[in-house]
Amino acid sequence: MEFTGENILEFGKHFPDDKSCLAYLSELKWSKGFVCTKCGHTKHTVRKKNYARDCNRCHHIESPTAGTFFHRLRFGQQKAFGIMFEMMATTKGISASQVARRYGISRTTARESEQLCKAV
């Protein structure tokens, strides 16, 4: 389920809600298989509600967002995906002020998102 488009309509169809964004992150994160960060075990159970992985040995639960830009966000995954999409797809870039207005987030959060996109 790779997304490589630059079309905002395709983006909206591909990521219509937070759950589809989590599914996408889950596929990317564990594309080469799951390895528990606590005990190193590879057998796991997938939680259908949020696509997290539950280690069968130590029962450590790892979210698809853990260790990513999307971890501990104060707003939805779909909004975060939209911000990343706009910052990556626009050739001239988009200012933090525009992102803040367009997505209803603070300028500080928008600036942090901008810095993370530049790092990517």
C-alpha span between 44 and 54 (Å, rounded): 5
The tokens for 19 are 């759950």
1: pLDDT strictly greater than 60: no
Q: What residues does each domain of the chain span?
A: 17-72, 74-120
Sheet with 44-46, edge to edge strand ranges:
44-46, 53-55, 61-62
The answer to whether 36 touches 60, Cβ cutoff 8 Å, is: yes
- Residue corresponding to tokens 């367009």: 102
pLDDT of 73 reads 83
117: pLDDT strictly greater than 80: no
Q: What is the pTM of this model?
A: 0.82
Which position has the higher pLDDT, 12 or 87?
A: 12
60-84: pLDDT as tens digits: 999 999 988 888 888 889 998 998 8
The tokens for 57 are 């040995």
Residue 33: pLDDT band with limits 50, 70, 90: very high
Q: Where are the beta strands (DSSP E) in the chain?
A: 44-46, 53-55, 61-62
45: pLDDT strictly greater than 90: yes
pLDDT of 55 reads 97
Question: Mean per-residue pLDDT for 80-107?
Answer: 86
Residues pairing with 55 in the sheet: 44
37: pLDDT strictly greater than 60: yes
Average pLDDT, the chain: 88
pLDDT of 120 reads 60
